[in-house]
Amino acid sequence: MGRPLEGVRVLDLTQAYSGPFCTMQLADMGAEVIKIEAPMGDQTRGWGPIKNGYSGYYAYVNRNKKGMVLNLKTEEGKQMLRELIAKSDVICENFKVGTFAKLGFPYEELKKINPRIIYGSISGFGITGPLSDRPAYDIIAQAMSGMIDVTGFPDQPGVKIGPSIGDNYSGAYLCLGILMALYQRERTGEGCRLDVAMVDTLFSVMENFVVAYTIGGVVPKRNGNVDPAIAPFATFHAKDGDFAMGCGTDKMWGILCGIMNTPQYIEDPRFKYNDDRCKNFKALEVIVEEWSMKLTVDEIDKILYENGIPVGPINNIKQISESELIKSRNMLWDVYDPGIKEEVRLPGCPIKIQGVEDGIRKAAPLLGEDTDKVLRDILGYSDEQIKAAHDANACG
């Protein structure tokens, strides 16, 4: 079975993380993604980890793509992009709002070139609204969406969530939007404009924090690793480390009390129902850790798993990367990278489709690696035309 997006051509003018993460997913699923960079290249080419003078970060989010350099400050470069737009299905960018239009490519112009084109963009605050002209990175989106304010422990300042989830989620949402638009185009024959804002994205994933305010009238505060609405649903200490436990129902609480040999707490009015346990979590935490501190993480993991209570150790990156779980799910892929000049191991695609081969087909492109091939194979340029484009500094 072929990959589901084979035959879809994507022009990728994005850089950094959010946009390339979106187009990486499309490429993993078979789309022909042409990464179009300015002559100086994507900014992530200088982001660590650096090995043999080459960016491992760039290698990760740009695998399975072709690489092309176009100088959109030249008329010749713009003309080549117009010709590519006419022969493509999707175009993505994450410039500061208005930049692509100033280069001569507002959506109205793209529609004239190709009425079927799907134009997707990611920005900090969207293409409409009072902050549309402001630039943003993930940390800005986390701050302004309210996420930092609710992340961390009550007696400490708010903290950024470790991974750049504003970029990640925005890229995933744009990918989802592109798939919706491709499906819609099958019925209507027309493309559309997709607008994903990082702050919108993070606001949408704040789940109970938003409705706690809009419905409950409460401004949530930092609660550490403790879920404010479910208990015991947190991290706890064991004899040799920490573990996470999600005891999500009253029935599970009864099972846990049996495991801990504390049946008296099943009907205790402080703990009988979930809302009671949330209100009395400090006392509940003491009871759980009086039990858990006598056991190892592995012992706790085994007994809770056997009794149907969600549980897991708190892994570091080395532990999860080398785990049988990740190996069995094919979530690390090996590929020879020509920039790093050796085989590297990269995170895999979490979407598994039965009958579709998993793995990386092509390493991230060197700067301009496929420029001539794209001009020749897609646009039909002759060798003389390609040379003239290079001589005009329109491509690289």
Tell me the CA distances in angstroms from 30 to 2, 9, 24, 109, 352, one per residue in order: 8, 10, 10, 28, 13
User: By the 8 A CB rule, do 358 and 330 touch?
Assistant: yes
Helix residue ranges per DSSP H, 260-314: 274-279, 281-292, 297-306
Our answer to whether residue 167 is catalytic in this structure is yes
Q: Given the structure tokens 């007696």, which residue do they identify?
A: 155
Please, what sign has the CA dihedral across residues 323, 329, 334, 340? Answer: negative
Tokens describing residue 285? 């935490």
Distance, CA of 364 to CA of 64 (rounded, Å): 6
User: By the 8 A CB rule, do 80 and 379 touch?
Assistant: yes
Q: Given the structure tokens 């302004």, which residue do they identify?
A: 144
Helices 18-28 + 165-188 axis angle, to 10: 50
- Angle (nearest 5°) at CA 52 between 344 and 342: 30
Q: Given the structure tokens 């003491």, which residue do they identify?
A: 286
DSSP-assigned beta bridge partners for residue 313: 243
- Annotated catalytic residue, options 12, 167, 200, 337: 167
Sheet-wide strand order for 193-197: 65-69, 32-37, 9-12, 90-93, 118-123, 193-197
Please identify every residue annotated as catalytic. Answer: 167
